[in-house]
Amino acid sequence: EVLLRMHSVGICGSDVHYWQHGRIGDFVVKDPMVLGHEASGTVVKVGSGVTHLKPGDRVAIEPGVPREMDEFCKSGRYNLSPTIFFCATPPDDGNLCRYYKHSASYCYKLPDNVTFEEGALIEPLSVGIHACKRAGVTLGSKVFVSGSGPIGLVNVIVAKMMGAAVVVVTDLSASRLQKAKEVGADFTIQVKNETPQEVASKVESVLGCMPEITVECTGVQACIQAGIYATRSGGTLVLVGLGPEMVTVPIVNAAVREVDIRGIFRYCNTWPVAIALLASKRINVKPLVTHRFPLEKALEAFETTKRGEGVKVMLKCDPTDQNP
């Protein structure tokens, strides 16, 4: 294990949800819990068995640590391990604090040209990497990203990076769609009160064809329905956003057109990839951070996220650090 002095911690929708509702699905907050799972910091102390890190190293933290070497770990899909430790998922404490202890092999050294903030953004970025891999995004893909919040945006960034020829994004908010344009979306569609079929046909008309891949980042029933209708026969729909447990969808439409519906749960094996992309400047995640607060103003930061202002709100846990 290593002891870290925390630097940057992003606020996620799930953090806000636990704060407001005390549960997400089967994960119920029963005792006081530290939030935060998008984080970076500096190594202060290392355990006796740690060789790849030393005090002073700047690291990005992968929040999910398997507790045992089960069949999921053996097959490389450790994110599916039922006993995994995960920051800020009850009953496991997160890392929104000054000092934090974490498994050393899930702390990744940051190169000098990758900032702490970029290090903290690797967590949401990982969702995009994992989703686009599961979707099979490749050279020339035409991709529909449903939802333009932080997770929709990282999927736009990653899809373009992986060779998507065209990416179209839908959202209710014009300002969020503007941000999607900034990070590389080719087309945006502001939805108002269209039916799922109407949304699907709008996507088809701006692309000039139906997309092979849809990445659904809202979890809203109507959006999942639109995702099925929009995806080309033989294509893939990846469900990233999670809403109610039971959702009514046109499953026969998907079945008879051989649309593959895939889920994702967090990510695995993405930190080295993300660090390589950030270090080589192949991707730019800096525009995602719109607000910064010191740790003392955490409540204000959470209120800002809850109101849906900006994109990513970042908390600064190191009072000695003067850099933005």
- Stretch 11-27: mean pLDDT: 94
Residue 2 has pLDDT above 60, yes or no: yes
Q: Contact at 8 Å (CB) between 40 and 8? A: yes
Average pLDDT over residues 281-296: 96
Residue 224 pLDDT exceeds 70: yes
Residue 276 has pLDDT above 50, yes or no: yes
pLDDT at residue 14, rounded to an integer: 94
Indicate the pLDDT class of residue 320, thresholds 50, 70 and 90: confident
Mean pLDDT across 1-5: 97
Two tokens at 69?
């070497």
Mean pLDDT of 287-299: 96
* Structure confidence at residue 323 (pLDDT): 55
pLDDT at 7 over 90: yes
pLDDT (mean) for 15-22: 96
Mean pLDDT of 61-70: 98
Per-residue confidence (pLDDT) for residue 249, from 0 to 100: 98
Residue 324: pLDDT over 60: no
Q: 128-174 pLDDT, tens per residue? A: 999 999 999 999 999 999 999 999 999 999 999 999 999 999 999 99
Please report the pLDDT score of residue 321 as a whole number: 72
Q: Which domains occur in the chain, in start order?
A: 2-109+285-316 (3.90.180.10), 128-263 (3.40.50.720)
Mean pLDDT taken over the chain: 96
9/267 Cα distance (integer angstroms) = 18
Q: Which of 78-87, 162-171, 311-320 has the lowest mean pLDDT?
A: 311-320
The pLDDT, as a whole number, for residue 195 is: 98
If you average pLDDT over residues 266-271, what whole number do you get?
98
Q: Are 46 and 53 in contact (CB under 8 A)?
A: yes
Average pLDDT, stretch 98-105? 97
Taking the C-alpha atoms of residue 5 and residue 7, their distance in angstroms, rounded to an integer, is 7
**Helix and strand tally (H, E) in the chain?**
10, 17
Q: DSSP letter string over 146-183?
A: E--SHHHHHHHHHHHHTT-SEEEEEES-HHHHHHHHHT
List of residues 6+ apart from 225 with CB closer than 8 A: 196, 248, 249, 250
